[in-house]
């Protein structure tokens, strides 16, 4: 449905996209996973026809997407990364404006607005000004505002930033339900949990390049190791961390170490080393390899860097 060929984009001297090629199939829930500054939003804006690429091509159902032709954007819905709502207007007024811009009128528009507000549990706040909403409520409205016209392709640019886990789950359910009804979704995030839960296919992006592409399982088989070990990063574990780093990849984030052993470094050797450093076994949690591990393996840095 969407074919992207060798897309390049510079901002002045800053290279944001460095030859991205992607093919998104109809009905897919495609995840774009990458850290800050990877180029996710830039890619989204090019797909949405907001910016002109420096090089490369973009075609939606065989029609080139360009900023010059608004008609090509009719089948598209963009959920911007920032909250793009008229904050002085009520939730309902906002939806009315965006619906009308997509050519919806009258009874159909009213119906879609009611539906959308109900879907994100904002029906009872419909007449309140958006600026009086909490951040999470604004996020939810920001999301449904792009869905009124039932786009064929929905672009969600980190739509859950700052949303509590409960609302986040509600958004996930909502998006999955929409996706089942037909629209193709491209979903950018730097949360691997989101990509793991939602996406049927994932592209890992960093420094404007797609580093890996495939289903979650396909991606994980590319990891050279089967397990990972996590343990707290404290002064007590510092010496151990330094020694074990010689036998695998060690990443530190959120007060914890995550260790991926090189092939051949056995789990028993790991625990032996821990005992030498007088660390109890209960400090260590063995886990399945994750997207994060893959990311680290591919790019040499963690997702939240």
Ligand X SMILES: Nc1ncnc2c1ncn2[C@@H]1O[C@H](COP(=O)(O)OP(=O)(O)OP(=O)(O)O)[C@@H](O)[C@H]1O
Per CB under 8 A, residues contacting another protein are 11, 45, 48-51, 67, 70-71, 73-74, 76-78, 80-89, 93, 97-98, 100-103, 129, 145-146, 155
Whether 105 contacts 98, CB under 8 Å: no
Residue 86 structure tokens:
């008229």
Q: Which of 6, 11, 61, 262 forms a contact with ligand X (CB under 6 A)?
A: 11
Q: Is 102 or 190 the residue whose CB approaches ligand X more closely?
A: 190
Single residue of 190, 201, 257, 258 touching ligand X by CB under 6 A: 190
- State CA 112 to chain mean position distance: 26
User: What is the smallest separation between the CB atom of 38 and ligand X, expressed in angstroms?
Assistant: 4
Among ligand X, another protein, Mg ion, none, the one that 53 touches (CB under a kind-dependent 5 to 8 A) is: none
Q: Which of residues 31-90 bind Mg ion (CB under 5 A)?
A: 40-41, 81
Q: Does 161 bind Mg ion (CB under 5 A)?
A: no
Residue 249 CB-density burial (10 A; 0-12 exposed, 13-18 middle, 19+ buried): middle
9 vs 140 by CB, closer to ligand X: 9
- Contact between 16 and ligand X per CB under 6 A: yes
Task: Select the residue interacting with ligand X from 4, 7, 24, 42 (CB under 6 A).
Answer: 42
* Closer CB to Mg ion, 31 or 99, in the complex: 31
Q: Are 255 and 232 in contact (CB under 8 A)?
A: yes
How many residues belong to the site for ligand X (CB under 6 A)?
13
- Candidates 157, 134, 130, 120; CA nearest to 32 is 157
7 bridge partner residues:
20
Least distance in Å: CB of 242 to another protein? 44
Question: Which stretches of the chain bind Mg ion, using CB under 5 A?
Answer: 40-41, 81
Question: Which stretches of the chain bind ligand X, using CB under 6 A?
Answer: 11, 14, 16, 34, 36-42, 81, 190
């Amino acid at each position: 449905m969407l074919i992207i060929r060798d897309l390049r984009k510079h901002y002045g001297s800053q290279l944001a996209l460095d030859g991205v090629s992607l093919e998104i199939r109809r009905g897919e829930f495609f995840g774009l996973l990458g850290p800050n500054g990877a180029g996710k939003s830039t890619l989204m804006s090019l797909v949405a026809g907001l910016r002109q690429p420096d090089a490369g091509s973009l075609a939606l159902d065989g029609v080139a997407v360009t900023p010059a032709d608004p008609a090509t954007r009719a089948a598209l819905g963009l959920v911007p990364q920032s909250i793009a709502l008229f904050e002085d207007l009520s939730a309902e007024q906002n939806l009315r404006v965006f619906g009308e811009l997509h050519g919806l009128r009258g009874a159909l528009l009213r119906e879609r607005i009611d539906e959308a507000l109900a879907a994100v549990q904002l029906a009872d706040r419909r007449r309140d000004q958006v600026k009086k909403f909490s951040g999470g409520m604004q996020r939810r409205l920001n999301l449904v505002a792009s869905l009124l016209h039932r786009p064929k392709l929905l672009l969600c640019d980190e739509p859950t930033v700052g949303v509590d886990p409960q609302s986040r789950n509600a958004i996930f359910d909502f998006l999955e339900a929409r996706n089942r009804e037909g629209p193709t979704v491209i979903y950018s995030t730097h949360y691997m949990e989101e990509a793991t839960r939602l996406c049927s296919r994932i592209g890992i992006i960093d420094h404007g390049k797609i580093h890996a592409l495939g289903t979650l399982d396909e991606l994980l088989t590319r990891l050279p190791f089967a397990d990972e070990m996590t343990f707290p990063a404290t002064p007590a574990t510092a010496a151990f961390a330094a020694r074990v780093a010689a036998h695998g990849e060690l990443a530190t984030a959120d007060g914890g170490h995550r260790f991926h052993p090189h092939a051949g470094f056995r789990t028993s050797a790991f625990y032996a080393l821990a005992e030498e450093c007088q660390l109890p076994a209960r400090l260590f949690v063995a886990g399945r390899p994750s997207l994060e591990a893959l990311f680290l393996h591919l790019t040499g840095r963690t997702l939240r860097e």
